[in-house]
Structures are given as structure tokens and as C-alpha cells.
Amino acid sequence: MSSNTLPPENSRVRAALTLLFSLALFLPALHAAEPQAATRANRMLADYFAREVASIDSHPLAEPTSLEQWETTRAAMKRQLAEMLGLDPMPERTPLNVVKTGEVKGDGFVVENMHYEASPGLYVTANLYRPEKSEGRQPAILYVSGHAVVVKDGVTLGNKTGYQHHGEWFARHGYVCLTIDTVELGEVRGEHHGTYSKGRWWWFSRGYTPAGIETWFGIRGLDYLVSRPDVDPARIGVTGRSGGGAYSWYIAALDDRVKVAAPTAGITTLHNHVVDGTVEGHCDCMFMVNTYRWDYDRVAAMIAPRPLLICNTDKDTIFPLDGVVSIYNSTRRIYRALGAEAKIGLQIAEGPHKDTQPLNVGAFHWFERWLKNADSMAVLDEGATKRLQPEQLRVFSALPSDEKNTTIDSEFVPAAKVPEIPADAAQWAKMRDGWMTALREKSFAGWPVTAPDLDLHDAGTAEHGGVVLHAWDFTPKAPWSLRLYVAHHVDVKPQDLELVALNVLDENAWQDFRHMMAGNFGKLFAPADRQGADGHGFADEKKMFDDSKWAMAYVCPRGIGPTAWGGSEKQQTQRLRRFYLVGQTLDAMQVWDIRRAIAALRATPYAKTPLWLQSQHTMAGNTLYASLFEDGIARLDLHRMSASHESGPAYLNVLKYLDLPQAAAMAAERSRVRIYAPEKSAWAFPAQVAEKLGWKKAFELRDPLPAQ
């Protein structure tokens, strides 16, 4: 619908809008969700995640028909994985600026304490273990440390010191081993827990994961190893356990200089993470931004046909045995198809999630076999033993003043710059089309490819005080069932309405709506929703209907109101992280629900009535984006919406391409947009685009509605 079909705006219209949104914005939420309803919603959410994982797993990686075909497939997968780690484009390989700060002699080995810069100011503290006596070039190991907190007298010595015994074993047995700290637990501390406990949901919107930093640390560590005259670049392996095991997978998948890999306790299936809940035992460093909706066997397969040993214990609660074996069997298919089945192994040791000697010995055997061509059946002479004091392995006596480790999450994946105002309609069309493509492919790829049947059915009608309230139930995507309400004056027929305004409710707005309506139209609400519903605000709402030929529609996207899941703040956090693991965000799927609510409304008798959309806060951002994918939205009224995804709705990767002001500009080309915001300068871009391209009255900024 073009803006020319809008009814004329007048004081009555503005008063009605002001009334509705002053209620939604400023009345407190009066009642918590009824426990049984929350329990049902929790079960529905669990069912949803199981369906999503099953859908992803229903498209397994095809077995290669030849090595050449596999290399073509793997090249495309490498590009996708690099992107999902925030490494596309790959950062510039700036000078490493390697600095050796000390040396320690051990029993048959020497340790060089050193640091290098993966990027300017991004410091990697490391210990380089080498044989005390050696000639020529040696095989080399990149050892990626797992989670180990080593602090003495208030000084962080780095998780590399917790894994020193691995480097010492390798050096005593003729290897050069570079053991590197991670960004969070190294001597220069960054952050792994952005979404786990810090509320940095903008990591999703940035397309940022600390797994990308750790992978980059490792790739630059390989750069250093191949530069050393005592390292044979054709004989390099990678290993590490737990977090280090995960990074070993990513490094080996992306960098073919790794000839042999033995990741330990670092991988399992999406089913384990999402359905069984092992995600709750992992910080963000384990996971890629799952834009392309992979299961983790695809990461494992990318090492084929190079020698790969998957190591794990049988009682590991965060890398469960069934998932590890599943990864092995899936990856083994690829090796078998490539005629390389002898190059994949599975080492299962008894024990919990712990750095055990049986696991270590399995990895040591593997490297002896494939990097030294040693007898794979030989019994190794010793296990790995810590021989030095942690403080002997300290790199920095004082931390560098120019370090970026602490804030690297804010810059590692660059956000898109605010674009220039387009010179003309053609330039604007190119800009807009590029953004829409990015949204479809990078931010909303978790939406259904084909919209499922709405399964729309009439949920009843009730009348009170001259107002009629209709209800319909619809399914945006199984197993969710949402309810759409439409209210107007009882004597006004749908075909006579001037407009219908769809109010997309957040939790506070739902509580206000429930409080106003459930007491008067009880049969359309669950018993718990009727509790305490005293009709507050209904008299003013009735007056609006008495004075206008308007209809008000209301919908709660998933997770709001009747489908709000219960639990602690920590439990809610872990649910949001599950969406991320299946290539979605809750906000993005609420955008989908809004789109389907629009489709549902258009399948009712109100289909031909001009449609407005209204919402507030984060849900206003979701409503804005929904309007970009649905035609015929006459007007948007968006209240107190954030001006950036840094604090607004979180969608995968969106900030790599655009921010909310650019989305508002796209909406203004299609609908009249009214944004009620205290800060006007943040919305300069859509205002200037509308003025430049002559979209008269398409975009308007207004002051927030006053508190009532």
C-alpha cells in the first residue's frame, strides 16, 4: 500500500496513539507468568530446539566423489568457517614483533619465554619448548592451551603454565613446541564470557566470537613456527585440550600448514550442546557464529584427509561420549570416501573432563607415528610431567601499555561505517538491495526457507461495553502457537474500518494489555491471565473506539506473555545462547513471528483495511525489520527504540552491514515512519535520505510520549 492511501492524520488519531502507548510504556507489569504456563512454554522451547537441531542434521555433508571435488568443497567451507569466526577477510599479517623475554633450562629441554603480536597491540604470550640438543629441522607442535587459571601472588601467569608438561614432553622427545596463552586466561587478559555472563548480546550482531581470536592467535603462531630455522614446515601438528581442543579444530580446519591434528576434549554435536544442554558448561570461545547452520562434524571433516586423532574421556560431561563418537563416525565417512580411513583415529580414555595421562599418551603416539614415522605400536617411555615452577614461565614483568587484548571484542570484527547519503535513487537502490541481501543471507538465514502453513483458526469472540474482541490462533513455525487479538467498536464492520493498528507487545505491554482486557473479555484469556485483571485503562480505550473507525490488533511474539518461559536470569541467558548455536537469535525469530502475525491478520476479515504497526523498545526494532519483508504497511509508530544494535535487538552479523538508522531509511521508502525518541541526532541518516530522495512526509521524528 502506498502512503497516498493513508487516512488523513488529525488530532483524534494522534490522541488515540498517545493513549495506547502511554499505557503500554508506563504502566508497570502487575503479575508474573503463571508457573504452569511457564512450564508449558519451557517444554515448547525445548521441543523447538530439538526440531531445529534435527532440521540441521537432516542435511549431512555429502561424501566426496574424488579428492579434487573434495578440495573444491573444502575451499568453500573454509570461506564459510572463516566468516563465522570473524576472519573473513582474514586480518592483515602484520609483523609479529617477536620478543624473547627470558630463557629457562630444564631436564633435556630449553624454554624460551616470548610474546608476539597477532595484530598490532594484540599480544600473545607463549613458551617455546625445544630440545636441549638437536640438529637440523625438527617436527613442531602448536599447543593451544585450555582453560586453566594460574595466578600467584596476584599475578596472572597464563594458562600456558598449566599445560607446561605437554611442551616439556614434546621438547624432550625431539619436537619444537610453541605453547600459547588464550585471550582470556593469558597474561594480558581479554574476555571469553561476553554472552555467557556479561550481557554482551551485541557480540551476535557484530558477528564476533572469541573463538575467532583464538584461531587467529594460532594461525600467527604457525607463522612464527615456520619462520624458525629449527622447524620443519612440512611436519607441523596441532593439539590442545578443552578450549584448546576446540581451537585446534578451527586452526587445523583453516590452515593447511597443519599436517597432523589431535584435538582433545574439544568437540561434540549440536544435539549435545543445544538439546542436552552442554552449552551451559561452555563459555563463548567454543563456538562459531553459526550463520550457515552447521553441525560440528563439518568442522571436523575439513581436516580430511590429513591425519586426525579425536581424543576424549568416557565420562566427560561437557563433551559427552555419544556426541564425540557421532562426530567420529560422521567424519570417518569422509575419510573413507577419500581412501584415507587409516588416517583417522578415536582415542577414548577412562575418566572425567580432565587432562589425563592416557589421553596424553594417545596424542603422543599419534604425532610420533605421523610426524616421525615412528612405530605406532611402541610403548612410550614416559608420560608428561610438570618440571618447572609456573613463575619461571612468566613472559611479562609489566603488561604493555598499548595492549588491545582487553577491548579486542569491540574492534576485531569491524562494524559497518555510517554510509554517505546517496546521491540519487539509483545509488540508493544499490545500497538498499545490498543491505537486504545481507539481512536475508547473514542475519535471518535461520528463518524457514518456505513459510509453513499458518494453521489459522478462530479462537472466539467476546463483547463488552460496546467493544468487540476477536481472537485467532496461528502457528508461525511449529511448535509455537500464538494468539492474535483484534478489537474495535461493535457497530463498525471490518469493511468500514479506516485502519487496523497491529500492536507488537513486549512483556510490559502484554501485562498492560492483559490487565485492561482479560477481566472484560475473560473467555479469550487463560485463567492465569485473568488474575488481577481489573480493566484498568479500558474506559479510555473504549472512548477511542467510540470516536473512531479504528481497530487495534495485538500479538505477543514467542517468549512474550502466554509463551514466556520461566526460570532464573542465568537460565534465560543460556536459552538465548541456544538460539545462537542453531544460527538464529531470539530477536530474529520474533521478527519472523511478527511477519507471520501480519500474514495471519491478512487472512481475517480485516485483510483489506490499511495496516499500521506499533511497538516499543527492543520490540520496536523487531517490528521495524519485519516491515522490510512485508508489503503494504501504511505506517510504523516506533517508541523509544534504540538507535543501534549495540543496545537494541540482536541479529547475527547485522552490524557488519548496517544499523537501525539504515533500516529505518529502508522502511521510510515503503511506509510512513514515525520514531518517538529523545535523541534526534542519532536518526539523522533516514531523515537526510528521505529529504534527498523526495520522500515527502515519509520519515518523522517525534518526542517520546509523556508519562501518564
Distance between CA atoms of residues 409 and 74, nearest Å: 28
**Biggest alpha carbon–alpha carbon distance for the chain:** 96
Residue 158 · residue 125 · CB < 8 Å = yes
Please provide the average confidence, as pLDDT, over all residues in the chain.
93
Whether 22 shows a pLDDT value over 50: the answer reads no
pLDDT digits (tens, 9 = 90+) for 94-112: 999 999 999 999 999 999 9
Query: Residue 322: is its pLDDT beyond 70?
Result: yes
Query: For the residues 599-618, what does the mean pLDDT come to?
Result: 97
Residues 6+ apart with CB under 8 A from 511: 27, 28, 29, 30, 31, 561
Read out DSSP for 96-138? ---EEEEEEE-SSEEEEEEEEEEETTEEEEEEEEEESS--S-E
Task: Note the pLDDT of residue 23.
Answer: 37
pLDDT of residue 376: 59
Q: Is the pLDDT reported for residue 16 higher than 60?
A: no
Distance CA 233, CA 226 (A): 5
Q: Which CATH architecture has domain 67-408?
A: 3-Layer(aba) Sandwich (3.40)
Instruction: Report the C-alpha gap between 97 and 636 in whole angstroms.
Output: 54
Q: Give the pLDDT band of residue 38 (cuts 50, 70, 90).
A: confident
pLDDT, position 380:
74
Q: Would the pLDDT of 517 be above 90?
A: yes
312 by DSSP, 3-state: which? Answer: strand
Q: What's the CA gap between 642 and 635, in Å, rounded?
A: 19
Q: What is the pLDDT of residue 185?
A: 96
Whether residue 526 contacts residue 483, with contact meaning beta carbons closer than 8 Å, is answered with no
Residue with grid cell 552449552, as numbered in its chain: 279
pLDDT score for 352 = 97
Cα 453 to Cα 266, 456, 477, 557, 607: the distances in Å are: 40, 8, 8, 17, 17
pLDDT tier for residue 46 given thresholds of 50, 70 and 90 = very high
Share of the chain above pLDDT 70, in %: 94
Mean predicted confidence (pLDDT) in 340-366: 96
- All three cell numbers of 553, joined, read 490488533
Q: Provide CB contacts within 8 A for 360, sequence distance 6+.
A: 166, 169, 383, 384
| Architecture in CATH for domain 3-25+434-559+585-702 | 3-Layer(aba) Sandwich (3.40)
Question: Is 112:392 a contact under the CB 8 Å cutoff?
Answer: no
The tens digit of pLDDT for each residue in 449-480 reads 999 999 999 999 999 999 999 999 999 999 99
Nearest to 347 by CA among 475, 272, 261: 261
User: Over the stretch 126-167, which tens digit does the pLDDT of each residue have?
Assistant: 999 999 998 899 999 999 999 999 999 999 999 999 999 999
pLDDT in tens, 269-319: 999 999 999 999 999 999 999 999 999 999 999 999 999 999 999 999 999
**What is the number of H-type helices and E-type strands within the chain?**
20, 20
Q: Are 262 and 24 in contact (CB under 8 A)?
A: no
* Burial tier of 636 (Cβ tally within 10 Å: 0-12, 13-18, 19+): buried
pLDDT at 562: 96
By DSSP bridging, strand 550-555 and strand 499-504 are: parallel
Tens digits of per-residue pLDDT, 184-223?
999 999 999 999 999 999 999 999 999 999 999 999 999 9
What's residue 705's pLDDT? 85
Map residue 674 onto helix, strand or coil: strand
- Decide if pLDDT at 602 tops 80: yes
What's the average model confidence in pLDDT over 79-94?
98
Query: 607: part of which helix (H) or strand (E)?
Result: none
Copy the grid coordinates of residue 161: 603454565
Three cell numbers, residue 4? 497516498
Average pLDDT rounded to a whole number, residues 40-45? 95
- Kindly indicate the confidence band of residue 2, based on its pLDDT and cuts at 50, 70 and 90: very low
Asked if 445 contacts 585 with a C-beta cutoff of 8 angstroms, the reply is no
706: pLDDT strictly greater than 80: no
Q: Does residue 177 or residue 379 have the better pLDDT? A: 177
In the chain, CATH 3.40.50.1820 covers: 3-25+434-559+585-702, 67-408
Q: Which H, E and C letters describe 33-101, residue by residue? A: CCHHHHHHHHHHHHHHHHHHHHHHHCCCCCCCCCHHHHHHHHHHHHHHHHHHCCCCCCCCCCCCCCEEE
State residue 21's pLDDT score: 41
pLDDT value, residue 663: 98
Separation CA 557–CA 203 (nearest Å): 23
241-264 confidence digits (pLDDT tens): 999 999 999 999 999 999 999 999
Q: Is 651 left (phi over 0), alpha (psi -120 to 50) or beta?
A: beta
Instruction: Report whether 403 contacts 118 (CB < 8 A).
Output: no
Instruction: Round to whole Å and give the CA distance between 578 and 560.
Output: 17
Beta carbons within 10 angstroms of residue 396's beta carbon: 20
Q: CA–CA separation, 233 vs 51, rounded Å?
A: 45
pLDDT at 20 over 90: no
- In this structure, the number of other CB atoms found within 10 A of the CB of residue 97 comes to 10
Q: How many CB atoms lie within 10 A of CB 506?
A: 22
19 residue type, one letter: L
